[in-house]
Chain A
């Protein structure tokens, strides 16, 4: 099981890395934001895997908070856009 979790942690990291390229490439702000959402989702998965792998249950709480606050960030982004363009 440990090997599997190690593999998935590294695989998730790779996934995050690919998402990162999209954040850097853009081209539009929306593209960057959606890639940031991806990083949030990957980050949540990663923290869950790490919580088992490193035997630290508190990381589940971090994952929960990350999930909720990533939603806040996306809301801030689109809310700001709405105000600007309406």
Chain B
């Protein structure tokens, strides 16, 4: 049962990772690509980490995986904003 749940989570995570990468290639400009990066990829990592956390069955390891996800989440949300802001400022200055 746990195995099934964790497999589903891992596969779902993989799906969002791939969707994010495809979005990065298909979307037309920097801002829209940032949407793909922040949303799809972070969800991908979240689901993947959740799946592996279920699989590991050590509470502390699971919590550490959660910690890593939170770190990536906070860091990438912030850097997405910073990259967008910088692009926006260069644009409006021109």
Q: Residues of A at under 8 Å CB distance from B? A: 1, 4-5, 7-8, 11-12, 14-16, 18-19, 21-22, 28, 30-31, 33-35, 37-38, 40-42, 44-45, 48-49, 52, 57, 60, 63-64, 67-68, 70-71, 74-75, 77-78, 81-82, 85
Contact = CB atoms under 8 A, between A and B. Distances in A.
A8 B48 contact: yes
| Most chain B beta-carbon neighbours within 10 Å: one of A4, A41, A74, A75 | A41
A14 B34 CA distance: 19
B26 to A, nearest CB: 10
Contacts of A41: 37, 41-42, 44-45, 72, 76
Contacts, number: 137
Interface residues of B, number: 46
A77 B65 CA distance: 27
Interface of B: 3, 7, 10-11, 13-14, 17-18, 20-22, 24-25, 30, 33-34, 37, 41-42, 44-45, 48-49, 52, 55-56, 61, 64-65, 67-68, 71-72, 75-76, 78-80, 82-83, 85-87, 89-90, 93
